Protein backbone atom coordinates (compact mmCIF):
# COMPACT_ATOMS: atom_id res chain seq x y z
CA UNK A 1 0.00 0.00 0.00
CA UNK A 2 2.69 2.27 1.09
CA UNK A 3 4.64 1.26 -2.01
CA UNK A 4 1.73 2.19 -4.33
CA UNK A 5 1.25 5.55 -2.62
CA UNK A 6 4.93 6.22 -3.01
CA UNK A 7 4.71 5.33 -6.75
CA UNK A 8 1.73 7.66 -7.36
CA UNK A 9 3.30 10.44 -5.37
CA UNK A 10 6.55 9.88 -7.24
CA UNK A 11 4.75 10.14 -10.57
CA UNK A 12 2.91 13.25 -9.59
CA UNK A 13 6.03 14.81 -8.22
CA UNK A 14 7.99 13.81 -11.37
CA UNK A 15 5.29 15.52 -13.55
CA UNK A 16 5.52 18.62 -11.55
CA UNK A 17 9.30 18.71 -11.72
CA UNK A 18 9.14 18.41 -15.54
CA UNK A 19 6.67 21.27 -15.81
CA UNK A 20 8.81 23.47 -13.62
CA UNK A 21 11.86 22.68 -15.71
CA UNK A 22 9.93 23.42 -18.95
CA UNK A 23 8.76 26.71 -17.68
CA UNK A 24 12.23 27.67 -16.65
CA UNK A 25 13.58 26.74 -20.09
CA UNK A 26 10.94 28.82 -21.84
CA UNK A 27 11.82 31.72 -19.70
CA UNK A 28 15.51 31.31 -20.61
CA UNK A 29 14.56 31.12 -24.30
CA UNK A 30 12.51 34.24 -24.10
CA UNK A 31 15.39 35.86 -22.47
CA UNK A 32 17.71 34.62 -25.23
CA UNK A 33 15.42 35.97 -27.95
CA UNK A 34 17.19 39.17 -27.96
CA UNK A 35 17.01 41.92 -30.55
CA UNK A 36 17.50 40.78 -34.15
CA UNK A 37 18.97 42.69 -37.08
CA UNK A 38 18.76 42.01 -40.83
CA UNK A 39 22.13 41.33 -42.30
CA UNK A 40 23.05 40.93 -45.92
CA UNK A 41 25.84 39.96 -48.26
CA UNK A 42 28.33 42.59 -49.20
CA UNK A 43 27.14 42.76 -52.76
CA UNK A 44 23.69 44.09 -51.90
CA UNK A 45 22.69 47.53 -53.21
CA UNK A 46 23.31 50.24 -50.76
CA UNK A 47 19.71 51.13 -50.13
CA UNK A 48 17.83 51.56 -46.95
CA UNK A 49 15.24 48.97 -46.19
CA UNK A 50 12.12 49.44 -44.23
CA UNK A 51 9.93 46.88 -42.48
CA UNK A 52 7.67 46.64 -45.51
CA UNK A 53 10.57 45.65 -47.73
CA UNK A 54 11.73 43.02 -45.37
CA UNK A 55 8.22 41.63 -45.04
CA UNK A 56 7.75 41.51 -48.82
CA UNK A 57 11.06 39.73 -49.32
CA UNK A 58 10.38 37.15 -46.62
CA UNK A 59 6.86 36.42 -47.86
CA UNK A 60 8.12 36.01 -51.37
CA UNK A 61 6.24 38.93 -52.70
CA UNK A 62 9.33 40.68 -53.74
CA UNK A 63 12.54 39.18 -55.06
CA UNK A 64 14.70 41.97 -56.24
CA UNK A 65 16.27 45.05 -54.86
CA UNK A 66 17.23 47.10 -57.82
CA UNK A 67 19.05 44.52 -60.07
CA UNK A 68 19.98 42.23 -57.25
CA UNK A 69 18.00 39.11 -56.63
CA UNK A 70 17.48 38.77 -52.89
CA UNK A 71 17.60 35.35 -51.24
CA UNK A 72 16.07 35.50 -47.73
CA UNK A 73 17.22 32.93 -45.27
CA UNK A 74 15.19 31.59 -42.40
CA UNK A 75 15.96 29.87 -39.20
CA UNK A 76 14.09 26.84 -38.05
CA UNK A 77 10.52 27.43 -37.02
CA UNK A 78 11.19 26.56 -33.37
CA UNK A 79 13.94 29.12 -33.14
CA UNK A 80 12.86 31.95 -30.73
CA UNK A 81 14.63 34.42 -32.93
CA UNK A 82 12.48 33.46 -35.88
CA UNK A 83 9.40 33.64 -33.75
CA UNK A 84 10.43 37.08 -32.60
CA UNK A 85 11.25 38.07 -36.19
CA UNK A 86 7.96 36.84 -37.52
CA UNK A 87 6.06 38.61 -34.77
CA UNK A 88 7.88 41.80 -35.34
CA UNK A 89 8.02 41.97 -39.12
CA UNK A 90 5.49 39.63 -40.64
CA UNK A 91 2.83 40.35 -38.12
CA UNK A 92 1.43 36.87 -38.55
CA UNK A 93 1.15 33.97 -36.18
CA UNK A 94 2.31 30.39 -36.94
CA UNK A 95 -0.96 29.18 -38.35
CA UNK A 96 -1.33 32.15 -40.59
CA UNK A 97 2.19 31.80 -41.93
CA UNK A 98 1.68 28.09 -42.48
CA UNK A 99 -1.56 28.65 -44.33
CA UNK A 100 0.06 31.41 -46.36
CA UNK A 101 2.88 29.20 -47.61
CA UNK A 102 0.54 26.32 -48.38
CA UNK A 103 -1.34 28.71 -50.58
CA UNK A 104 1.88 30.01 -52.14
CA UNK A 105 3.08 26.45 -52.65
CA UNK A 106 0.29 25.86 -55.11
CA UNK A 107 1.24 29.03 -56.89
CA UNK A 108 4.73 27.56 -57.41
CA UNK A 109 6.47 29.61 -54.74
CA UNK A 110 8.70 28.31 -52.02
CA UNK A 111 9.36 29.72 -48.54
CA UNK A 112 12.83 31.07 -47.80
CA UNK A 113 15.60 28.57 -47.24
CA UNK A 114 15.69 27.32 -43.69
CA UNK A 115 18.95 26.95 -41.84
CA UNK A 116 19.60 25.27 -38.55
CA UNK A 117 21.69 27.78 -36.79
CA UNK A 118 22.52 31.44 -36.62
CA UNK A 119 26.14 30.63 -37.27
CA UNK A 120 25.21 28.84 -40.51
CA UNK A 121 23.06 31.73 -41.49
CA UNK A 122 25.91 34.12 -40.92
CA UNK A 123 28.25 31.97 -43.00
CA UNK A 124 25.67 31.78 -45.80
CA UNK A 125 25.22 35.50 -45.87
CA UNK A 126 28.94 35.91 -45.85
CA UNK A 127 29.40 33.48 -48.75
CA UNK A 128 26.37 33.68 -50.99
CA UNK A 129 25.61 36.74 -53.03
CA UNK A 130 22.20 38.30 -52.52
CA UNK A 131 21.40 36.58 -49.28
CA UNK A 132 19.84 38.22 -46.33
CA UNK A 133 18.97 36.91 -42.89
CA UNK A 134 18.14 37.89 -39.35
CA UNK A 135 20.61 37.31 -36.57
CA UNK A 136 21.06 38.66 -33.04
CA UNK A 137 23.18 41.70 -33.25
CA UNK A 138 25.65 40.17 -30.85
CA UNK A 139 26.20 37.16 -33.04
CA UNK A 140 27.66 39.10 -35.97
CA UNK A 141 31.01 39.34 -34.33
CA UNK A 142 33.79 39.14 -36.89
CA UNK A 143 31.60 37.87 -39.75
CA UNK A 144 31.94 39.85 -42.84
CA UNK A 145 28.31 40.92 -43.22
CA UNK A 146 26.38 44.13 -43.50
CA UNK A 147 23.59 45.12 -41.18
CA UNK A 148 20.76 46.31 -43.33
CA UNK A 149 17.94 46.89 -41.11
CA UNK A 150 17.41 47.52 -37.49
CA UNK A 151 13.88 47.24 -36.20
Partner 1 sequence: MITKIKNSLSAKLLILLFLIGFIPYLLILVYTKVYGQEQILESTIARESVQMQQIEEAVEMHLQQLHRGLLFLSQLELMDDIVVDDLDHRILQTLEAYHEVLGLEATLLVVNDKHRIVTSTNVQNIDKLYPYAKSLSHRKVFQTYTVDDGKILFVVPIFSQLDSGRELGHLIMEYHVENLQRFNQRSKGVTTAMVNQVYHYHISSQPLEPFELRSDLDRDDEGETLTLYRPINSLLEDWYLVYQLDKSVVFHFLEQLNLYLIIGALFGMSTIALLAFYMSRRVVYPLKLLQEQTREMVAKHRYDLKVPALSDDEVGQLARSFNVLSDDITAVMEALQKESQLRMLRLTQLISLFHQLLSSQNEQSCLQLALHSLQDIVPEHKVTFKVLEENAPFPAIYLYDFEHQRELYYGSLSIDFEQLQEEEKEFFLAAAAMISARLNQLRAYKRLQKDDEAKRTFISYLSHELRTPLHAILTQTQYLIGYESLNEVQQDKIAHIENASQQLLSMINDLLDLAKLEAGKYDLQLETVACEEIVMTIDTVMQMLAPLAEQKELSYTLDSKCDDVNTVIDLRLLRRVVSNLLSNAIKFTDEGEITCSVFVKEKKIIIVIKDSGCGIETKALTTLCDPFVQYGESSQKEKGSGVGLALSQRYAVLFGGTLEINSDGLGRGTTATVTIVTI
Binding residues (CB under 8 A) for partner 1: these are 69, 71, 113, 115-117, 119-120, 123-124, 127-131
Q: At closest approach, how far in Å is the CB of 123 from partner 1?
A: 4
| Alpha-carbon gap, residue 83 to 79, rounded angstroms | 6
Q: At closest approach, how far in Å is the CB of 134 from partner 1?
A: 16
Q: Which is nearer to partner 1, 55 or 123 (CB)?
A: 123
**Chain centroid to CA 135:** 8
Q: At closest approach, how far in Å is the CB of 114 from partner 1?
A: 9
Q: Which is nearer to partner 1, 89 or 121 (CB)?
A: 121
Q: Which residues contact 126 (CB under 8 A, 6 or more apart)?
A: 41, 143, 144, 145
Q: At closest approach, how far in Å is the CB of 116 from partner 1?
A: 4
Range list of β-strands (E), 13-63: 36-40
123 CB-side CA count, 13 A:
6
Q: Which is nearer to partner 1, 62 or 113 (CB)?
A: 113
Q: Which is nearer to partner 1, 91 or 119 (CB)?
A: 119
Q: How buried is residue 73: exposed, middle or buried, by Cβ count under 10 Å (0-12/13-18/19+)?
A: buried
Nearest to 115 by CA among 150, 81, 69: 81
Amino acid sequence: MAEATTLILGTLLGGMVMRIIGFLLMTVCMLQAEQWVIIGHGSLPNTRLDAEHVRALYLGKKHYLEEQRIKPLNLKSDNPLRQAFEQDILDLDREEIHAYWIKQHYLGKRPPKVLSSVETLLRYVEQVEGTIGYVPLSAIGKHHVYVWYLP
